[in-house]
Chain A
Amino acid sequence: MTHPPKSSAAPPPAGSAGAPGVPGIPAQPGPPAAVPPGLPPARRTAFAEGAERLRAAATTEPGRLRIIGAVLALVVVAFGAVTAWQTGARSAAAHDVLHRSQPLSSGAAGIYRSLADANTAASSVFLAGGQEDAKSRELYEKDIESAASGLVNAAANAEPGSAAETTIAELNRLLPEYKGLIERARTYNRQGYPVGGAYLRYANEKMQKEMLPAAEVLYTTENRRLDADYGHARPYPWAAIALGVLALAALGWAQHRMYRRTNRVLNHGLVAATAATTVALLWLVVGHAVARSGLDGSYEHGIRSLNVLHDARIASLKARGNENLSLVARGAETVTVRDRSYDAYYYAFDQDIAALGRHLTEAARLADDPGPVKAAEDDMAVWKQRHAAARTEDENGNYQQALDKVIGAKGATAECFDGVDGSLARAIDHEQDEFKQAAEAGLGAMTWLPEGTGVLAVLGAAGAVAGIGRRLSEYR
């Protein structure tokens, strides 16, 4: 309708006040048309022509409105686009945490565990001699199989030329080598040749010095990838938030300007745009905060516990392997520590069981359900006692009694190891669930966030354009 008297802008046709930024060029007369029709000027560049038109437009109110409308739409759409992009990336990273890197990390831990378990089972089978029991043998075969299939899975997910791929290739080379040594050991043992024990010790050395370290490298690599995915999912989308605030501010300013010029409080289009942008911004901030807390929770209550539990399980497997091997080696290897000489495998057992104790204490501290960890600790205490008894028998030369106390059916350390391993497996399952729930909640909070904010932004932009258009139509 009419221009409000308090407008700071000069009346449309006036000269330089309407285009303050363009000195030296005379103000163009005439309302909407930017270029006088009858007088085609010399051809200039498109940019210069555009700038010219813009300059011309800025001198009239409808022109200004058009610019304001365009800028508002642009800012709101930019907000939507950046939000969609940033939350999309975070959502993808969170998805990777849940469905790729964590499974791979736990797969790598599984490979490590299978290898260590196979080594332990192999020594149990060996100790049983010609009367090897089918259960241990099956366990050994199953472990080798799951290690092999774990490697295939890891290989499928490794990027070509990456460090993980090299490690996997190394493990793929060592696994059949190891199995060959074990088969030789069994064959010789069945024939009653002590060189079978030497083969088993050699296989064990290969496992302890080459394969398990390689599996550990793989595990660390996958864990780094997991950490990186967490790193990509967690940071606040500052750019999107800033653009959202900017869009709201721009919408606010435009409505304020309109109110001052027309004394009308509400412009439906602009209000709708503001509402859409506000909702999008809130959704962004709240959604991401929830997702972030879910991910943090999955890390604190899942990953950290899982790491410690995996370490504990591996320590218990190593301890069991060394306990068996001390009976296989029968004093063939010693280590000297601070001038005292020890049986190499008993010494390693002591180290492993100490590590197991440390990991269990840590796991109990982190666990929100300490039940299984407590059970594992109890089993470990019994294990230590029984091991001491078995070792005394062995050192007194009562080989058969020592053997019974280690791989026997009743009251043997085998029961304790199975107990520890079972409890730890339960604890790992539990923590895995915790992780999954928290991470799924986190990922859930980001569901539809990129799409939703995108749609809202488009709606917002449309609202802004409609609102401005409504105002603009008053000039026709």
Chain B
Amino acid sequence: MDVSRARSALRGWGGVATMAVLCALALAFVLLLPCTQRAPEKPERERAGRTVATGVQARADGCVDSEAHERTLAPSDADGPTIDAIRARTGAKRKLIVGVDQNSYRWGYRNPNTEGAQLEGFDIELVRRIAEDILGDREAVQFKAIPTSQRTRAIEKGRVDMVVRTMTINCDRLREVAFSAPYFKTGQQVLAPKSSPITGYDDSLAHKKVCTAATSTAHTKLAADRKEGRLPASTDISTTVPNQLDCLVRLQLGEVDAVVTDGALAASQAAQDPTVELKGKAFTTEYYGVAMKDDADDLVRRVNRILVDYRAHGWQKSYDDWLAATLGKDSSASKPPAPQYLRGS
């Protein structure tokens, strides 16, 4: 074929780079044609002080969500300006400032039955590990509760050093913040009462009411799948709530038949109600990462180094402590993949 001949010819004088350019061009066409009305946004974003506009452009163009989690920096112990700035904090302010969730059971939540309603959970454990490594003190953390919609903004504005908040790594977010290597693997999953005839993300959802969080990945996915016929057209996805946890309330009150959210969060809902369970397998694959400021290269590298250790020692214990009860003793489905460090700069 012509194409294969052309490709072999190309390989002759420079392979990968050219293919990347072609891919980028093709993707640019596909993306830009239907989105012409978005054009005015770009200059605004550049005005907002993106120092490395060209780098962002190239990265965005080549980005695919399924590989987004590989776009991080190689681990390193070297200190840099960001880490120095954190260490330079003195007195009571010598703390790592981390954006977390306070409502995700077993991930990041305030336990009202502890002294001072302490935050605890899988995410919180990881935060303490990072604080211990950088500042030498597990407790040297200032937690900030951040609403879902505020996560990237809080980082960009420098209100927090990092966000550890069941945050999925994807291309959209990569355009605004930097991510560590993934520390958890999950996917969208269906949650329903144990007695329900719903078997998973399939035709058993026909004529059922499904609850999702407003503007969540789950809602976007459901709307798209229903349009394309992968989900029965009779499924009612009109119930959206401000927070995924509100879906459990609606489910318990019988206002909806099922909930779709990240498997990890669905499990945290199931942990609060023994009469509901996860139905079927996850129907997407997503990875949680630690989000940091786009130009905080030293911090990203340091967190990645910490994660290397953490995956070897600590991850499994934290999983057993917080998640095994609802996600199952076997952690293989949740284990993050071997990290790839494909981000250049």
A residues sitting closer than 8 Å to B (CB atoms) are 129-130, 184, 188-190, 192-199, 201-202, 330-334, 336, 341, 343-344, 394-400, 403
Contact = CB atoms under 8 A, between A and B. Distances in A.
A396 B142 contact: yes
Contacts, number: 92
The contact size tier of chain B is 20 to 34
B15 interface: no
A332 B149 contact: no
Q: Interface centre among B111, B112, B146, B249, by most A CB within 10 Å?
A: B112
Given A332-B245, A332-B246, A396-B142, 7 more contacts: A195-B245, A334-B150, A344-B242, A394-B145, A395-B144, A397-B143, A403-B117
A195 B105 contact: yes
Given A189-B112, A195-B273, A334-B149, A400 B117 contact: yes
Given A334-B147, A399-B110, A193 B243 contact: no
Contact of B246 (A184, A198, A331): A198
A202 B239 CA distance: 14
A333 B242 contact: yes
Contacts of A396: 142, 144
Interface of B: 97, 102-105, 109-113, 116-117, 119, 142-147, 149-150, 153, 242-243, 245-246, 248-249, 252, 269, 272-273
Closest A-B pairs by Cβ, 10 of them: A129-B112, A330-B102, A397-B144, A332-B243, A193-B272, A331-B145, A331-B147, A333-B242, A400-B116, A397-B143
Contact of A198 (B142, B146, B249): B249
Among A202, A330, A394, the one with the most B-chain Cβ atoms within 10 Å of its Cβ is: A330
Nearest to B112: A129
Contact of A195 (B97, B119, B143, B269): B269
12 contacts: A129-B112, A184-B252, A192-B111, A195-B105, A195-B248, A197-B245, A198-B103, A331-B150, A333-B243, A341-B153, A395-B144, A400-B116
A194 B245 contact: yes
B114 to A, nearest CB: 8
Contacts of B150: 331, 334, 341
A363 B157 CA distance: 42
A398 B142 CA distance: 8
A212 B318 CA distance: 45
B242 A399 contact: no
A280 to B, nearest CB: 68
B243 A198 contact: yes
Contacts of B144: 395-397
Given A195-B273, A197-B103, A333-B243, A399 B142 contact: no
Nearest to B106: A194
A172 B201 CA distance: 40
Contacts of A333: 147, 242-243
